[in-house]
Amino acid sequence: MTATSAYAKLSAADETRSSMRRVTKCAAEYELWLRRGRHVFAVANEGFTAPTVSIDQVGTSLTNCIEQKSYDGRSMSWLKMPELLFRGQLIEGMFRWAETGKYSNSFDENSEKFLNMDKSRKFMPIRQFGMCVVHLDPANSRAILSGPVAGDEEVRGYAALSPTFSQCVAPGETIQFSKSIIEGAVAEGLLVKILEERRANAQQSVH
C-alpha cells in the first residue's frame, strides 16, 4: 500500500489527526509570524492555566485557521480538546515551523522559557518521554511526523518505535498511548533538541 492509497482511506480517528495537524501548523505559523510564539509557548508551558490573553490569542489563531481552511469548527473546537492533547498538537505545529527555519533560527526569551519549564509542571513526564524516544531513535521519531497520516512512512516509523515506548515511561508514570499524544510528545522532544542547538549557537556567537 502506498502512502497515497493509505491517505485516501483514512479512518475517522486518522482523519481527525490529519485535520488537527493542518490547523495547528497554521496556528503556529500565525503565532510565530505575529508574536514570535510568545503566547503559544506560554500555553505549552502552562496549559489551560496560562494567562487569559495567551489562551485567547492562540484560540483566535486556531479559529482563523479553521475558518480559512473551511474545516468544521464544531468537530475541531479546540476548547473541547483535553489539555494534554491540545498542548501536544500546538507543540507539533511549532516543531514543524521550527524545523523549516522559515521565520527565525534565532533563540529568544520565549524559547528560553520553554526549555526551562519548571520540572514540577504536570507536563514534564510527557516531555521526558518524548525526549527519551527521540534520543533512542531520532530517525523514526521524525518519520512518524514527516509523512502523511497513516502513510507508509508513519506506519514503518511506529513499528520501529514501538519497543522504545515502554522503555521511556518513567517508573510510577502513566502515558496514554494514543497516536496524537505520542506525536505531541515526540514533537516536543524534537523541538527541545532544535531549541537547545539554537541556544548553544547563540551562546557561541556571544563569545
pLDDT score of 163 more than 80: yes
Q: Which are the contacts of 172, defined by CB distance < 8 A and separation ≥ 6?
A: none
Record the cell numbers describing residue 193, joined without a space.
533538541
Burial of 127 (0-12, 13-18, 19+ CB in 10 A): buried
Residues 6 or more apart from 33 whose CB is under 8 A from it? Answer: 103
CA angle 194, 197, 198 (to 5 degrees): 90
- Contact by Cβ (8 Å): 164, 189: no
Task: For residue 2, give the nearest of 147, 143, 102, 145 by alpha carbon.
Answer: 147
Q: What is the pLDDT of residue 103?
A: 58
Q: Report the share of the chain in percent with pLDDT over 70.
A: 87
Residue pLDDT, tens place only, 32-61: 877 778 888 999 999 989 998 898 888 888
**pLDDT tens for residues 55-93?**
888 888 888 887 765 444 444 455 567 889 889 999 999
**Quick check: 190 pLDDT over 90?**
yes
Q: Under a CB-based contact definition with an 8 Å cutoff, are residues 78 and 86 in contact?
A: yes
pLDDT, residue 69, reads 53
Amino acid at 99: E
- Grid cell in block for residue 174: 502513566
Euclidean distance between CA atoms 142 and 154, whole angstroms: 9
pLDDT of 23 reads 86
Q: What is the pLDDT of residue 77?
A: 54
Alpha-carbon span 104 to 44, nearest angstrom = 19
